[in-house]
Homo-oligomer: A and B are copies of this chain.
């Protein structure tokens, strides 16, 4: 009886036939209307460019921002859709959901982010003028949603995810505006705005959606051999392209160059300390795929703020090494603690991959900024690196360091508040028996086992 009722409840709860289409279509319609009213191509992507070029005294089409940033944009794009999407396919029965829902929320999120960030940063004469840098920033913003998705992976419906995306993108943009414009903080790789904010946002949501009986679906929370290999595709693309992520919106020239080098160094170091601690923390000294898939990336998160500063390659190695250790320890000790004591069920362990390394990144950024000198940066380089112009002309490195630290606190507060606001109305969490299971929201192909059999017996009839 009890069981039957639960089943019926399930069936009702999870049938999205009208709700999902309605949400998608109405929201897309809203996007079209808002884009129609507000969004236009910026000067460098407008057919008036020929005249613009002359006005700006540019001699070559190469000076178009497109050529400075488009290769990095494509790398970031791959990180968001293949990187995050496949990283989450490690669950044995949730591959479609991982890749597919990530695809859905990111595709909606980038449209809404173009608007939200546009109103704050690219608004001119009533229009939002977009170019390649806006596309990168929209991807960045959505990255923070993908991070939050990692905490609740397998436990929500696509509609809940879309609602979360709407709210999170909105708050992300507000938080970003406070940090970049009001506090005048540097955060090109988003240690604070993307990782710290996104992770604590997601952790707050998953805390509110706490499911006491989740261990009922424990058998589905693990990986199988092939799903771990699919996840490694995500890991490697995130790892390889992170230098592009951290340098994508840095200033042209030396800043982009430096960001890429520092991130490359940090990530390389992170792999070694992750492997070391993964083996050390296991009785038999074996390596754990969960750590390799995730903690190796902490080095990219942890230099997100400072990579474009004069962190130096050895500074990057230090930061990368520490973050790999912290992140691996997190998987072994913190995640079980968070679940059992704080009732935070963090499917992908984003606390270890994004939250803690994000905080490290914010702190390292504050220290690096506070330690900056004209000697190290050069007179012009110093002003350019921290944008100490206009009203910020008199800001000193130590004051900048203070504002950077304030940026961490603001991001944390915004994340907690935002996560709480979004988590509440998501309503009663679905039954644990619906978790981590593609069959709930997807048409799943019938019977793999018998296929495997027939695959190697092509001469036998397919069905008796």
Contact = CB atoms under 8 A, between A and B. Distances in A.
Interface string A8-50: 0000000111111110110110011001100111001111111
B314 A28 contact: no
Contacts of A280: 17-18, 20-21
A285 interface: yes
Contact of A445 (B21, B222, B243, B463): B222
Contacts of A74: 71, 75, 240-241, 243-244
A336 B394 CA distance: 71
Interface stretch (A171-179, A198-206, A353-361, A450-458): A450-458
Given A240-B82, A253-B64, A265-B111, A20 B378 contact: no
Contacts of A51: 378, 380-381
A321 to B, nearest CB: 6
A4 interface: no
A298 interface: no
A114 to B, nearest CB: 8
Given A103-B271, A225-B95, A279 B64 contact: no
Given A110-B268, A230-B229, A239-B81, A18 B285 contact: yes
Given A74-B75, A287-B443, A384-B50, A111 B260 contact: no
Contacts of A41: 257-258, 261, 310, 312-313
Contacts of A62: 60, 62-63, 67-68, 252
A329 interface: no
A108 interface: yes
10 contacts: A24-B273, A25-B276, A46-B254, A74-B240, A74-B241, A103-B236, A104-B271, A135-B261, A433-B458, A440-B458
